[in-house]
Amino acid sequence: YMDEQVSIKGFTEVETISESFNKMLSRMQKLESSRQEFVSNVSHELKTPITSIKVLADSLLSQDAVPEELYKEFLLDITDEIERENKIINDLLSLVKLDKTAGEMNIASININDLLEQILKRLRPIAAKRNIELVFESFRPVIAEVDEVKLSLAISNLVENAIKYNVDDGWVRVSLNADHKYFYVKVQDSGIGIPEESQDSIFERFYRVDKARSRETGGTGLGLAITRNAILMHRGAIKVYSKENEGTTFTVRVPLGYIA
Ligand code: ADP
């Protein structure tokens, strides 16, 4: 009887080990396929501007006497494509750097009110071009232990998006609040909104709701992936609420004290 018990127990344990092994294997397979997808996306994204540049240059070279006007127009297009390539490379580097330095948080006590004011100050001229009002509302002074560079990158991306995907004469409201454990940053806009079916996907690398619009505004589809990574590294959380043609709100929650 005792032997039977032992053998039954042994059997169950073997089952459990093989189950968890299968789970691990399936997780690794998922990771590998997402890595392959990422590499294939990167290649595609990097190739697109290069292809355009090639077409533009070839078409100039194939004509004998190019009017100066046309020449300049094509060169301007080429410059735009180079700028775009640059943006993709820079965003990729930010993303890779975040992954690599996942364990290396540069934590210091930071005045979050000042940090947000600085971000808004830098972006106000860009918003002003389309007469978009940028407002900051603080419910209390907040000092928190954060990696200033990473947090700043995360919030900047949200505010840049709130401007990019807004309407002319619209508004962006950034607010800061805190309780005894967390601080909360809300970035709210009066923009075009995000369709319900896309709301789960926007944090994926290279995902855009409207490729043409994202491209027009210099988007790479990496911004929110960077933001999400940076927030998760602070053991924080990010959520989106949005209604098409009404606007979008991103809420970020970060612990006041860094949890290593
Ligand atoms: P992008 O470089 O294209 O802006 P992001 O990763 O920052 O990439 O955002 C992914 C997509 O999510 C964008 O292409 C856009 O469609 C959508 N999006 C992000 N923020 C907003 C916003 N505030 N309002 C509407 N759509 C947004």
Q: Is 220 in the pocket of ligand 1 (CB under 6 A)?
A: yes
pLDDT of residue 11: 58
Which helix (H) or strand (E) is 188 found in, with range? strand 182-189
pLDDT of residue 121: 97
Closest atom, ligand 1, to C-alpha of 210: 16
Task: Please give the ipTM for the structure prediction.
Answer: 0.98
Which helix (H) or strand (E) is 184 found in, with range? strand 182-189
pLDDT of residue 1: 47
**Ligand 1 mean position to 164 CA, how many Å?**
8
Which helix (H) or strand (E) is 39 found in, with range? helix 2-61
DSSP assignments along 124-170, one per residue: HHHHHTTT-EEEEEESS--EEEEEHHHHHHHHHHHHHHHHHTS-TT-
Closest atom, ligand 1, to C-alpha of 193: 25
Please state whether 247 falls in left (phi above 0), alpha (psi between -120 and 50) or beta: left
147 pairs with which residues across the strands?
107
Cα dist. 76→51, 54, 68, 80, 82 in Å? Answer: 16, 14, 12, 6, 10
Classified as helix, coil or strand, 218 is coil
Q: Are 248 and 191 spatial neighbours (Cβ–Cβ below 8 Å)?
A: yes
Q: Whose CA is nearest to atom 19 of ligand 1?
A: 161
Query: What is the sign of the dihedral through the CA atoms of 179, 147, 160 and 94?
Result: negative
Per-residue pLDDT in tens (0 to 9) along the chain, 260 residues: 444 445 555 555 666 778 888 889 998 998 888 888 888 889 988 999 999 999 999 999 998 888 999 999 999 999 999 999 999 999 999 888 887 766 688 999 999 999 999 999 999 999 999 999 999 999 999 999 999 999 999 999 999 999 999 999 999 999 999 999 999 999 999 999 999 999 999 999 999 998 877 777 778 899 999 999 999 999 999 999 999 999 999 999 999 999 88
Closest atom, ligand 1, to C-alpha of 218: 2
